[in-house]
A = this chain, B = another copy of it.
Amino acid sequence: MAEKKTLMDYSGARDWVLAESGFDPELLGKCEAVMCQGNGYMGLRCATEERYLGEQRNLFVAGTFNKFDENEVTELPNAADVLAMTLRVNGARFDLTQGAADGYRRELNLRTGEVTRSVRWTSPKGDAAKFEFRRIVSLERLHVIAQQVTFTPETDVTLVVETGINGQMTNTGSQHFSEGEKRLYDGRVMQYTQTTTQSGIDFFFNTAVRFFDETGERPEKGFITMERRRIDMRYTLYVPAGKTLCFEKITTVHTSRDLDAAGISFKEMQKRTLAEAGQVQQMGYAALAEESAAAWARRVWDNVPVNVESSCETDALALRFAQYHLYVMTPAHDNRMNVGAKGLSGEAYKGHTFWDTEMFILPYFTFTDPAIAKKLEEYRYQSLPGAHKKAKGNHYKGAQFPWESAWLDDGEVTPVWGAADIITGLPTKIWSGFIEEHITADVVYGLWQYCTVTGDRKFMDDAGYELMMDTAIYWVSRMTEGADGKLHILDVVGPDEYKEHVDDNAFTNYMAHWN
C-alpha cells in the first residue's frame, strides 16, 4: 500500500504505525511534519539526525513568542537544534544520498509516540553498517527529548560522533535569540542558553551523550568545541565488526516563561535544569520511552478509546493520527497559550491561533477531555483586553477578537503583507487581520458548545457570559443601516479568503446574528 509519490507506507496501520518506506531528499518536508513529535509544551519537527540540503529543523516551545523587529509580527521562535548528529564511519559522513542504503524504514508509532528509523548503509568507501535511530519527546516529562542510536558495523571501523546544541537556527532567516552562555560540566554535559531578543524569554538546554556496548556503559572522553551560538562534543570510537555500539543523547528544554520558573533567577534556572537533566540522563532512554508510552496510554488512548468499524485499516489509523497530533500541539499545561494553526510542527502561521481552534480542535477536547477544553477557553477569556483594544482601535464597541492571536497581550498579529501578485509583481496585502471578522463569533461558537456540552456553569458565570456579551456589543456597533432600512455588515472577508471586501457575507452575517 506504499504511495509511490510520497514513500508513505500504511501497511502497519493495524499496529498504529505510520511509515516511510524509502529515503528521498526531495521529500524531507513530508515526514518532518507528519512525524512531528511533541507534548503541548514543545514540538519537535521530525528532521533526521544527519543534515540535508532542503531540510527544515524546528523546535518550538509553546507560548514563547518573539518579534524580530517592528516590521514583523510576533511568532514562535525556532529554538536551538539538539537533534543533529554528524556520524562518520572510517571518515565517510553518514549521508543517505551517498553510498548505498538498504532496507530503509522510518516509523512513527502513534501508540507510543516513538519515531524509529533503520537502515543498512554502505559508505562510498565500502564500509557497511546497520543504523537504528529512536527518539521521543516525553509526554510524561514535558521538558525531555531523548534519542538513542544503535550502530553495528560489518567491518572494524572508527565511528566519529559529533553532536551538541546549535543555536544558529533561524525562522527563515529571522534570528529571534541573543546568544547566551555555553558551558561544559564534568567534561560531559553541555549547557546552552539563549534569550529572545524582544520578549526576553530565556531558554535553557542541557544535553549529554552516553555510550554503551554489550558489557555496559562505556566511558568515553569527548572533545569540546564552542563556536558562535553552538556547543558540540566530538567522540571517536573504535567498533569491531559485528559488535553493537549504542549511544543515547538526552536533552532537557526549559524556559523562563514556564509556569514553575516564575521568580526563579537565571543562575538558579541554570543550576536547576542541569540537575534535572542529570536525573533523566541517568534514567536512560528505555525507561524514559516506556514512561512516555504509558502517559500516551493513560492520557490519550485509554482515556478516549475509539473503535472504528471499517474494512479499511487506515480509517482507524487516520483517526488516531488526528488524536496523536491534537495532543502533540495542544498546550494543556498552561492556559496562557493556545493551539497554533500548524500546531508545533513548522514555521507556517507563526504559531498563531486562528478560528481553527474553535472549529477543528476545541470540539474534540470539549467532548472528550473538557479540562483541556477549559484551558483553551480560559485563553480566549484572558485575551479579552486585546479584543477590547482592537474594537476600540477600529472605533467599535465591545470585544473584537484578533484574526491571529499569540501571547495574551500581543493583540492582532496577522502579518500585513503576503506573497507576490504574479501580474503586478507587488506583494499582496493580507486583509484577514483587518476585516476577517467572523472570528469573533467563532470564539463564541466554541464557548457555547463548551458550556452546553460540559455544563460548566461556573466558568460561564466567571468568564463566559462576559465574553458573550462583549462580543454581542461589538457586532451591534459593527453594523450599518442601509438605504433599505436594514442592518448590514459591509466590507469583510468571509471564510472564502479568495473573496475580499464582501458585503453581507452569508457566514459572517449568520454567525453575527446568532452571536
Stretch of A167-175, A290-298, A352-360 on the interface side: A167-175
Contact check, A168 vs B170: say whether CB atoms are below 8 A apart: yes
Contact with B along A103-146 (1 / 0, CB 8 A): 00000000000000000000000000000000000000000000
Q: Give the chain B neighbours of A68 by CB distance below 8 A.
A: 175, 178
Docked complex Cα distance between A71 and B183 (Å): 17
Flag A162-185 by CB within 8 Å of B: 1 or 0 each.
Answer: 000001111011110011011111
Instruction: Please report the total number of A residues contacting B with Cβ < 8 Å.
Output: 43
Q: Is A11 at the interface (CB under 8 A from chain B)?
A: no
Among A39-47, A226-234, A245-253, the one that faces the other chain is: A226-234
List chain B residues, Cβ under 8 A from A419: 225-227
Once the chains are docked, how many angstroms separate the CA of A97 from the CA of B172?
25
Q: Which of B167, B173, B179 is close to A175, meaning CB atoms less than 8 Å apart?
A: B173
Given contacts A173-B175, A175-B175, contact A425 B227 (CB under 8 A): no
Q: Kindly list chain B residues whose C-beta atoms are within 8 Å of the C-beta of A102.
A: none
Give Cα A69–Cα B200 distance, bound, in whole angstroms.
Answer: 13
Query: Do A172 and B228 have beta carbons less than 8 Å apart?
Result: yes
- The reply to whether the CB of A427 lies closer than 8 angstroms to some CB of chain B is yes
B228 touches A173 (CB 8 A): yes
| Chain B residues whose CB sits within 8 angstroms of the CB of A27 once the complex forms | none
Contact of A173 among B97, B169, B181, B183 (CB under 8 A): B169
Residues in B neighbouring A230, C-beta threshold 8 A: 173
Q: Which residues of B contact A179 (CB under 8 A)?
A: 71-72, 173-174
Q: Which residues of B contact A223 (CB under 8 A)?
A: 422
Q: Is A21 an interface residue (CB 8 A)?
A: no
- The answer to whether A173 and B427 touch across the interface, beta carbons within 8 angstroms, is no
Say yes or no: is A506 at the interface (Cβ < 8 Å to chain B): no
Interfacial chain B residues near A181, Cβ < 8 Å: 427
A183 touches which of B97, B169, B426 (Cβ 8 Å): B426
Closest B residue to A69 using CB positions = B178
**Is A187 an interface residue, CB under 8 A from the partner?**
yes
16 residue pairs A–B, Cβ–Cβ below 8 Å = A26-B93, A52-B53, A68-B178, A97-B98, A168-B170, A172-B228, A173-B228, A174-B175, A174-B179, A183-B425, A184-B426, A224-B422, A225-B419, A226-B420, A226-B427, A231-B420
Known: A170-B173, A173-B229, A183-B426. 19 other contacts (CB 8 A): A26-B93, A52-B53, A68-B175, A69-B178, A69-B197, A71-B178, A71-B179, A97-B98, A168-B172, A168-B173, A169-B173, A172-B228, A173-B230, A174-B175, A174-B229, A182-B427, A184-B420, A224-B422, A225-B419
Which 8 residue pairs of A and B lie closest in terms of their CB atoms, listed nearest first?
A184-B425, A168-B173, A226-B420, A175-B175, A173-B229, A172-B228, A69-B178, A224-B420
